[in-house]
């Protein structure tokens, strides 16, 4: 049997199917491995900036290599080089770590902190949503295939980095950084939308980066149908949903931190009262 045709082209293979047993088991096992490693390294390198940055750097290199391997394979298989190159430009929500993880490893100061906070907030969502709800992947690809393994690695690296950041306490989540962390997403979305519209004349249809024109099997399809497929209302909803997620995350985060501080304050008062009575 020709391994290239079996693994890469999937000739004669049966698609896994979205939410099939093989899909759920594969994703769960992969995430379990990556997240366990994130906890181990996060605890081991807590308080060690050099080692923490090394983990970010290696993760950044790994996710870029994963993306490049995908693009190289697609370009080798296509008859239309430029159409394939533009059409597979990493401009989806789950592609943002391809740019942000290396930036977090290679920059300093507040910009680095914005990148780290962004990854802490969005990385786990990308890892879980991108793996479990990949309606554009599992219905048409076999589990043991280049396309599935490449996507698994891409999304799982994002989840790994996010949990590593939380465990090693790299993120600060300062209120003054909120507009800038959300701004990373807003800027990326705007670039993707502009590219979508720029390339309409070339192919006659939008590229659908960030799912700005249709859901393509993702949960965004629900909202696309809700507005009857109208582009502008749907695109506004996409902005609200994705940027709103980050805003809501901050609200919940500060609410939980407030409860923790309140509980700690009550415990300190109880200790003081107990000490005074003795």
* pLDDT of 110 over the 80 cut: yes
Q: What is the dihedral of CA 74, 29, 45, 57, to 10 degrees?
A: 0
- As separate numbers, helices (DSSP H) first and strands (DSSP E) second, the chain gives 11, 0
Q: Is the distance from CB of 231 to CB of 213 less than 8 angstroms?
A: yes
**Rounded distance between C-alpha atoms, residue 200 and residue 198, angstroms:** 6
Task: For residue 40, count other CB atoms closer than 10 A to its CB.
Answer: 12
* pLDDT of 207 over the 90 cut: no
Q: What is the dihedral of CA 261, 37, 53, 96, to 10 degrees?
A: -90
| Structure confidence at residue 1 (pLDDT) | 63
Q: What is the mean pLDDT of residues 168-189?
A: 96
| Structure confidence at residue 268 (pLDDT) | 72
| Structure confidence at residue 264 (pLDDT) | 83
52 closest CA partner among 68, 62, 38: 38
* pLDDT of 30 over the 70 cut: yes
**Rounded distance between C-alpha atoms, residue 161 and residue 171, angstroms:** 11
**Rounded distance between C-alpha atoms, residue 127 and residue 2, angstroms:** 32
């Amino acid at each position: 049997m020709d391994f290239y045709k079996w693994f890469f082209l999937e000739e004669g293979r049966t698609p896994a199917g979205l939410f099939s047993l093989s899909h759920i088991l594969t994703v769960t096992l992969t995430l379990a491995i990556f997240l366990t490693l994130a906890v181990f390294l996060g605890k081991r390198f807590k308080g060690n900036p050099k080692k923490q940055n090394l983990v970010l750097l290696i993760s950044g290199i790994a996710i870029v290599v994963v993306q490049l391997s995908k693009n190289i394979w697609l370009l080798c298989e296509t008859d239309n080089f430029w159409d394939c190159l533009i059409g597979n430009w990493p401009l989806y929500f789950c592609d943002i770590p391809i740019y942000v993880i290396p930036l977090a490893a290679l920059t300093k100061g507040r910009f680095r902190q914005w990148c780290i906070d962004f990854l802490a907030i969005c990385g786990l969502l990308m890892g879980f949503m991108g793996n479990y709800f990949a309606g554009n992947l599992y219905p048409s690809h076999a589990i043991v295939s280049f396309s599935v393994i490449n996507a698994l690695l891409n999304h799982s690296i994002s989840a790994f980095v996010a949990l590593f950041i939380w465990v090693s306490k790299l993120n600060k989540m300062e209120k003054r950084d909120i507009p800038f962390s959300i701004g990373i997403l807003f800027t990326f979305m705007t670039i993707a939308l502009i590219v979508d519209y720029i390339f309409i004349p070339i192919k006659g249809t939008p590229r659908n980066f960030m799912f700005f024109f249709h859901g393509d099997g993702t949960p965004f399809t629900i909202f696309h149908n809700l507005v009857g497929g109208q582009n502008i209302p749907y695109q506004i909803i996409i902005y609200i949903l994705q940027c709103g997620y980050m805003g809501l995350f901050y609200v919940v985060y500060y609410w939980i931190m407030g409860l923790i501080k309140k509980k700690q304050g009550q415990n300190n008062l109880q200790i003081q009262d107990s000490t005074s009575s003795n």
